[in-house]
Structure 1
Amino acid sequence: MPKTRGNFWSEYEVTVDSNGKEKYTCKTCSGTWSKNASCLKEHIEKCKDINVETETSQPQGTKRKRQQTFDEYKFAFTSKDQIILESLLIRAFTQRLSTPKPLFFKATAFKEERHTSENIALGLETTMKDADINKFGAIITDNAPNMKAAWKILNQKYPKKIFLGCWAHGIHLWMKDIISIEWIKEIIEKAKKLSIYFHNHQVILAALRRLQKEKYGKKIVLILPCDT
């Protein structure tokens, strides 16, 4: 006598894949399974129990509490989607917040006035007021003594403003002090002579470039230093 099919078979939709094998898709959870009676029966029993528990957890006739705050909102994203979204939001926020843009506002030429600290302070203050003094927090100049004296004058009127020397100018001054050291001057002179020698001898320069390309994959140009 042939076996009768259990009632659980009606809970699945049967399809055939490209390899000719039957696939059973659960009508409750849309999960796909291969043909295995015990596994299919066990799954549908668990799936039905879960579905019944979900339905009875919210009795009919009751209203869910309305969301009150944004923090209560649950994103229906995967963790990967959330990471991508957060990365895009952070990038957009930081670009908007911390990307300064240069702006040329004004240039003032001293004519008959001397470059005294008082005149410099007056010129800086005029420009600060024209640009709206509340729109910036720092003023940067070079490191000349008359500029530093102008800082002190303005700092008394505007104690909340920051006055700074130019770091590029400071580094330039440091380098001038460094290359004035005797043993460094000797190295620089030797480097100059070496560079001049290669530039004055075409055959040797060609051999140098060939060796550079073999070792480094590119040519390295020898440049003579110059005062700035």
Structure 2
Amino acid sequence: MPRLQSGVWKHFTPAIKEGRETFMCNYCLKTYTKNATKMQMHLDKCKEYSVILQQSPGPDGSSSASIPVPSFSFLPSATPGGQFLIDSVDQRSQAHADECLARAVYATSSPLTLTDNIYWKRFFSVLRPAYCPPTRELLSSHLLDCEYDRVQGQVLEAIGRADCVTIVCSGWSTVKETRTIIYVVATPVPLFYKRATTKEQTYTSTFIAEELKDIINEVGPQKVFAVVTDNTPEMMAAWAQVEEAFPHISAIGCTLCGVQQLFDDTVATPSMTVLCRRAEQVVRYIKERKLLAEAFRCWQTTNIRNHTANGTTLVLPINSDWTGVVNMFSSLWRVRTLYKRWPSHPHWILKHPSGPRYRMQHFGKD
């Protein structure tokens, strides 16, 4: 577990004195170097802190001063007299600033250790010296829970205002045999509603159907008119159970999953298998031969300058996804229509029957 940060830092404001980082007491303005022990010893003896401690009751009526109320910081003014201005942050302003900062951290996926960085501390000190930014422990606990409750409240409010909604769910497995299912309520704006994690052994049609029924009852059966899932056997088996419990709700499959299945079936035919293998051989032949690949790059660079070879990079399918195969065929087709502009190369490999020029001339004729 990470080492917890001492609570004493909340009572001191970072400051720069003679080029060195110091910490100034928010009550008596005495400065210390970065030493939590000495700072705590000072806090135990600080009279001004004792007064605020007695005047700041906690929720149960006891005295508490976890957050200085108010927090003071003295800034040298621009006046020639060298007077000081007082900057203060009350508890309400401190809480509002913490909420805004936490929301910015979560929305940008910034590290929770951001407020521990010396440069960010220096920035906050310049911007508002009396403001004490939250620690990473606070960002990962109380503030995160508050932001989650706020967003969840907005989601439930949007669902409550909607006249009709659709429930969309999809699942995937991890290498640790853990199945994750996400549930989205479309109003029609998609709103993340719930996530369920289960082991592969418990990922059954009955489990999915019960989860869908619970969500339908929570949202309101009268609002739901359709349930959309992926096309796995478990999901499809759950359709009948949902439609039996709610006859007015239609369960349908994902269009993208259907397109993927149609493409897989098409590519699995013998003629398409041969064509895909031949197309991949052409691409690999050009990419794996250094002399030929260099000639192709030179031709490509020249034609791009003339705006005649845009998007003619040869690509290979990275995985079994249908977009990779389509991109490979598209790149070959664009090169095939421009192969006559390819300058003749002195090497025999360009004109040999086993070479790519010959293959591109006869690509798709068989």
TM-score of the superposed pair, with normalisation by structure 2:
0.32
Task: Tell me the percent identity.
Answer: 25
Instruction: Give the letter aligned to residue 242 of structure 2.
Output: L
Paired residues for 1:156-195 under 5 Å: 156-195=244-283
What is the CA–CA distance in structure 2 between the aligned matches of 1:112 and 1:180, rounded to whole Å? 28
Counterparts of residues 89-104 of structure 1 (less than 5 Å): 100-104=188-192
Distance across 1 between alignment mates of 2:251 and 2:303: 47
2:243 maps to which of 155, 160, 182: 155
Alignment of 1:45-60 (within 5 A): none
Matched residue, 2:320: 227
Name the structure 1 match of 2:39: none
What is the rounded CA distance, in whole Å, between the counterparts of 1:113 and 1:190 in structure 2? 41
* Structure possessing the higher radius of gyration over alpha carbons: 1
One-letter amino acid of the counterpart of residue 297, structure 2: A
- 1:133-190 alpha-carbon deviations (Å, 9 max, x no partner): 3333110112223322211111111111110011111111111111111111111111
Q: CA separation in 1, counterparts of 2:198 and 2:285?
A: 47
Name the SS for the 2:191 alignment partner.
coil
Partner in structure 1 of residue 182 of structure 2: none
Q: In structure 2, do the counterparts of structure 1 residues 100 and 220 end up closer, same or farther at CA, with 3 Å as the change threshold?
A: farther
AA partner of residue 104 (structure 1): F
Answer with 178-187 or 123-132: which moved more: 123-132
CA distance in 2, matches of 1:112, 1:207: 52
TM-score, normalising length: structure 1:
0.50
> Superposition RMSD on alpha carbons, in Å?
2.4
Q: CA deviation at 1:210?
A: 4.2
Q: Is the 8 Å Cα contact of residues 121 and 151 (structure 1) preserved in structure 2?
A: yes
Aligned equivalents of 2:190 and 2:296: distance in 1?
43
Structure 2 gap segments, 5+ residues each: 1-186, 322-366
What number of residue pairs does the alignment pair up?
Answer: 130
Distance in 2 between residues matched to 1:216 and 1:196, nearest whole Å: 23
| CA distance in 1 between partners of 2:256 and 2:226 (Å) | 16
The alpha-carbon distance between structure 1 residues 208 and 133, as it changes in their structure 2 partners (threshold 3 A), is farther
SS in 2 for 1:178: helix
Indicate whether 1:202 and 2:293 are aligned: yes
Q: Pick closer, same or farther for the CA change 1:125–1:168 going to 2, 3 Å.
A: same
8 Å Cα contact 1:138-1:163 kept in structure 2: yes
Whole-angstrom distance in 2 between the partners of 1:212 and 1:157: 63
Q: Deviations over 1:26-78 (max 9, x none)?
A: xxxxxxxxxxxxxxxxxxxxxxxxxxxxxxxxxxxxxxxxxxxxxxxxxxxxx
Question: Could you say what secondary structure the match of 1:137 adopts?
Answer: strand
- In terms of mean alpha carbon deviation, does 207-216 or 155-164 score higher? 207-216
Deviation, 1:112, is: 7.7
2:221 corresponds in structure 1 to 133
Structure 2 equivalent of residue 216 of structure 1: 308
